[in-house]
Structure 1
């Protein structure tokens, strides 16, 4: 208690101009235009800007207590589902994008009870032959980000850490965000997993915060590297990883995706002269957020490739492969700017070369 009182006194002193130009903000708040604010709300107007901006399906939430929805932006809520002990299910959910004043998303926040393994949320063009998805259900293949890719590269709205509980935030630095095509619709591949010994009701919601276009200084775009096939023998500790060519730009976030056998996840920047620099390191699997937001961003000037590696300890009696259930994944996701530097790296099998494509050239 005395420490918190001291911190408040420091904030008051600094706010009055004693000893510094900016106050010391508490927690995760940042100083923005004269006040300490939650970064995802730094561009929030004083009054509600976007009306009717909550899209919710299913029963009302019982366990999640949500703050007021964004004043500039929108909220989507998934239909709650109850899973039996040990039950695992993958399915597709979809939502329309509500009418918005601004289309620059500078931050997003996930709210979830235990049981969300992962949800890859994208916005894709409405298919002319099928029309809009039958919200909250989906047309076949709607949850595949690369289906109908000829109509445009999908917008990735959010990808969460494995089995995260509570809140998780993706927040770009001041002046940065991605442009959301509001003529599209949202679809997501959702994977629920009840690891408990009793039935579990899973509730899930997202807030997306928007800002005026004249506030945008750098547009960001998503990137991903995926190793599609690997195997780890029973009772073996083994590393899976790859090195993929990059095309310059600046990284503003990293998010690893592994499962419960992960012991370590690392990311290194490589240079043409053989140099290597560790930029991300995470330990054993837990239920906390693994998203790392960078402000200032990580500069890829002089960097020729990114290497990421996953250390797995297979404590099971069976061989572990890429996949769901008792299997594993080793995926690196994040955001980069400018959009022309956007890339996707695919490794068909662990140990084989990475095929890295500069997607930004096709935007």
Structure 2
């Protein structure tokens, strides 16, 4: 190799060498990919393209075909998109409510056949009139057999009835009185597992506050991904205060501090009714505390919060949550349906062995945390 003395290169030589580099540099610039353009509102970059997060793992071609389970008359008020190409849809029978009527009942569906059994996203579609619903899956009753779809055997929609022997799968829990749709999408690589030998049921609460009759229509979509895409398997957790009292024309906070068993929180959803004025959640650690959720007064918007990255809990950490109720009525507010209230915190977490359920028998009494993960 010949070594040049740089001091001997003339200005003309330097310029000629620069000119030789120009085509090479141009080729490099053309080969370097430009940064992705911003995605439209409501979409995300995933594997080089902009997609709706709920369609993140949707295949180009449909793989689940006979994947809609519907009962009752066809829907006429909801305009639904096509069902998930990987996943399934369940549709509730439409129900007419008289002015001011309230209804609380159970609905059930069998699982359709699906290719993949990890749910990474779920969506509720509803007209006005759905107060709330909790979609769960439990084993077929060995004595009674399958539910009389869309009816239910007694206790089919009760997620706590057989704990800890039977831990239900929670497919979706909706915010209070949303109208239109509400979507839960976990971060990439996360989802919960379906056991399709079980059957689906939901405790559904309808309320028509209007002066006119109302037809309520409800449907749910569940989007699934291949098992190979799942890095973390999620499980539900719940915290609840089973009884409390807020006297008429007063404002009072109801809450509890409950032990956890560690793990990582991926999502939170508070559940209250129309008298809620605030809902706050803190992680309490040995060295202090940190606010992780601050909800305002009740409205008709969705309240689901997803954390990416998840919130890491130490084995000795606790969660403190508080519901502030402004009772503008002339009656006592207690735990219940109708014109009463609830103070419940629900979410998803991982790993499975850290799953828990926590309850206070009454506001102000100690919170009991049950490590469900130990029974899996």
**Contact 2:261 2:315 (8 Å CA) reproduced:** no
| Residue aligned with 1:187, SS | strand
Task: Verify: 1:197 aligned to 2:203, yes or no.
Answer: no
Alpha-carbon distance, 1:296 to partner: 1.5
Task: Verify: 1:279 aligned to 2:283, yes or no.
Answer: no
| Residue aligned with 1:250, SS | strand
Q: Counterpart in 1 of 2:16?
A: none
C-alpha distance in 1 between matches for 2:235 and 2:331: 38
Change (3 A) 1:161 1:99: same
| Residue aligned with 2:83, SS | coil
1:97-129 Cα shifts (integer Å, max 9, x gaps): 001111001110000001111111100000111
Q: Counterpart in 2 of 1:329?
A: 342
Q: Counterpart in 2 of 1:9?
A: none
Task: Verify: 1:42 aligned to 2:56, yes or no.
Answer: yes
Alpha-carbon distance, 1:307 to partner: 0.4
Q: Counterpart in 2 of 1:107?
A: 121
Q: Which structure 1 residue ranges, 5 or more long, are not aligned?
A: 1-15
Q: Counterpart in 2 of 1:259?
A: 273
Change (3 A) 1:285 1:17: farther
Q: Counterpart in 1 of 2:245?
A: 231
Pairwise CA RMSD of aligned residues?
1.5
* Stretches (4+) displaced over 6 A: 16-19
Q: Equivalences for 1:107-256 in 2 at 5 Å?
A: 107-149=121-163, 152-256=166-270
Q: Counterpart in 2 of 1:54?
A: 68
Scaled by the length of structure 2, the TM-score of the pair is 0.90
Alpha-carbon distance, 1:152 to partner: 2.9
Change (3 A) 1:203 1:260: same
Q: Counterpart in 1 of 2:20?
A: none
C-alpha distance in 1 between matches for 2:351 and 2:125: 29
C-alpha distance in 1 between matches for 2:353 and 2:209: 41
Change (3 A) 1:139 1:351: same
**Contact 1:23 1:31 (8 Å CA) reproduced:** no
Q: Counterpart in 1 of 2:360?
A: 347
**Contact 1:272 1:302 (8 Å CA) reproduced:** no
C-alpha distance in 2 between matches for 1:331 and 1:47: 40
C-alpha distance in 1 between matches for 2:31 and 2:282: 42
Number of corresponding residues: 347
**Contact 2:126 2:179 (8 Å CA) reproduced:** yes
Q: Which structure 2 residue ranges, 5 or more long, are not aligned?
A: 1-29
C-alpha distance in 2 between matches for 1:288 and 1:57: 28
C-alpha distance in 1 between matches for 2:163 and 2:367: 21
Q: Counterpart in 2 of 1:3?
A: none
**Contact 2:257 2:318 (8 Å CA) reproduced:** yes
1:141-195 Cα shifts (integer Å, max 9, x gaps): 1111133446531100000000011110111110000010010000111000111
Change (3 A) 1:114 1:89: same
